[in-house]
Amino acid sequence: MAEAKAQAPSKATAARSPKANATSIGAHVIGVVGLGHMGTAFALNLIADGRRVLASDRDPARVEALVKAGAEPVSSPAGFSACDVALTSLPDDVALKAVTLDELIGNLKPGAVHLSMSTVSPGLSRFLGAEHRKHGQFYVAAPILGNPDLAKGRKLFVIAAGEEAAVDRVRPLLERLGQRLFVVGKDPGLANLLKLGGNVLTATTLQSMAEVLALLSKGGIDERVAFDVLTNSLFDSKVHRAYGGKIVDKRYRPAGMAVPLAVKDLRLALAEAERSAAPMPLASLVHDRLVALIAGGAAELDWSALGLLEARDAGLTASLEAPAPASPPA
């Protein structure tokens, strides 16, 4: 896996792919499709950078809010013909496939780049990449590691894969949207596979932290003390601190990653595991724990609510009703 260098494409790169680099990045028109928490954060940062941003979402209120911030609305699929880059931030395979086939491919101009920042299956990325090539367009998969708060602060980690010329074309955008860019190959499916792997690690970490905090709490150790000891010793990763902090503070709303989306991501990872004969018993377990949250009526909560589920099962709370968030100590 090669890390992308934080610099503009070299003259040699530009010479190899003149069509892909013919338009200056400063002159790009960027369409943003999907204005959830992530898509809105991306669009606002692009506007702040002085980009011309076209906004599209099924919810007119989201589009209107972004128009007030300086974006231009896309009233029909034909509006994407002005885009040099179409950035999609959509919830799943079904939504991304529909938008790509019904709205983007037939309207984007030759040489335009579809920059997909959605968490979807590797197979779909490969399919969409092939479809775009048939129309002389480019497709780059660039899912992210991080949450909406990190997106707002440009602190995301971006994983990109696609044809070299296309990645070079969108590199300046990706380096502005996150704190670090990793380019993992020419096959766009690889970026999505790595993203799914990262989400499995986060989910299993959440489950293990939930279990340990419940154990220590039942044993008489204040969970804030336990959290302080653990995260300031051997377990001081970003995931332990950020998501463990949500469990300790009972901050399950608003959801950075809602439980149904986490279920979707674990399901996609398990499908890849089955396809490649790579057993993932822990991922299977956590997938079922997330499904249990949905069954218990907690679908709108953040996936860190695995801590709430564990607390209920350990008898520390009576239900999956999320309490009001506790205020962190002064």
Spans of all domains in the chain: 2-186, 193-313
pLDDT at 13 over 50: no
Give the model's pLDDT for residue 322: 82
- What average pLDDT does range 142-162 have in this prediction? 96
The verdict on pTM exceeding 0.85 is yes
How many CB atoms sit inside 10 A of residue 10's CB? Answer: 11
Angle between helices 281-295 and 306-313 (to 10 degrees): 80
Side chain identity at residue 245, one-letter code: G
**Residues ≥6 apart with Cβ < 8 Å to 3:** 180, 181, 182, 183
Q: Measuring CA to CA, how many Å separate 169 from each of 87, 95, 165?
A: 13, 25, 6
Give the model's pLDDT for residue 15: 30
**Rounded Cα gap, residues 176 and 153, in angstroms:** 10
Superfamily of domain 2-186: NAD(P)-binding Rossmann-like Domain (3.40.50.720)
Active site residue 68: no
Side chain identity at residue 267, one-letter code: R
Tokens of 82: 């002005």
Within the chain, where are the H helices? 11-16, 37-48, 60-68, 93-99, 122-134, 148-152, 164-177, 188-218, 223-231, 238-249, 259-275, 281-295, 306-313
Among left, alpha and beta (phi > 0; psi -120 to 50; other), residue 23 is beta
Radius of gyration in angstroms for the set of CA atoms belonging to the chain, rounded to a whole number: 21
Query: Poorest-confidence range of 24-28, 93-97, 128-132?
Result: 24-28
Residues 63-92 have pLDDT tens digits of 999 999 999 999 899 999 999 999 999 999
39 confidence band (pLDDT: 50, 70, 90): very high
- What average pLDDT does range 283-290 have in this prediction? 98
**By C-alpha distance, which of 119, 291, 124, 96 is closest to 199?**
119
Residues 228-255 have pLDDT tens digits of 999 999 999 999 999 999 999 999 999 9
pLDDT at 300 over 70: yes
Q: Cα dihedral angle (176, 180, 185, 186), rounded to 10 degrees? A: 0
CA 133, distance to chain mean position in Å, is: 24
Name the active-site residue from 195, 246, 250, 264: 195
Confirm or reject CATH 1.10.287.130 for domain 193-313, answering yes or no.
no
Q: Can you spell out the DSSP letters for 110-161?
A: TT-EEEE-S---HHHHHHHHHHHHHTT-EEEE--EES-HHHHHTT-EEEEEE
Give the model's pLDDT for residue 28: 84
Residue with tokens 């939504």: 95
- Average pLDDT over all residues of the chain: 91
